[in-house]
Amino acid sequence: MRNLAAVLVCFFAFTVASCASSRINLTESGAVDVKIDDGPRSPVKYVDVYLDTDDDETVIRGKIYGTGVPHFETYGKHVHVTVISPDGQIVAEEQPRLIWRTSSKFRSATSHFTVRVPNPVPTGTVVDVVYHDAFHRSASAA
């Protein structure tokens, strides 16, 4: 039984490592700049941009912290993600769905979001992330 468990753990570790190796972190390499509206005071944290070489697409992932308890206080809260090429053209503009999780210890919610751009973005691209805590005219309820 121990041998089976060890084999499963090794297989899982190898699978995770091989999946992660097909991604290139564009924010760490400096190829893409991430701009978060409202800077350090914004609840948006840890926005990373990856190039997924397997699917030949750019993946943007981010987390939002400390925004209250879901179901009531999080209704209407959303982010806008705009990808702007070095020449000023808008490559993608999305309002991704937020996936909420609660923490019973602190009675707060965190969420994460993902945006996929079907092509690799050029070096010098800016990813602009803006957080809104309520619906507004151009925000949809989806």
Q: What is the pLDDT of residue 37?
A: 84
Give pTM, 2 decimals: 0.72
All domains of the chain in start order, with CATH:
23-132 (2.60.40)
Please report, to the nearest 10 degrees, the dihedral formed by the alpha carbons of residues 106, 74, 40, 25 taken in order: 100
122 band by pLDDT with thresholds 50, 70 and 90: very high
For the segment 115-131, the average pLDDT, to the nearest whole number, is 93
Q: Which of 19-23, 33-37, 119-123 has the lowest mean pLDDT?
A: 19-23
Using alpha carbons, select from 98, 96, 91 the residue that is nearest to residue 126: 91
pLDDT at 141 over 50: no
Q: What is the pLDDT of residue 46?
A: 84
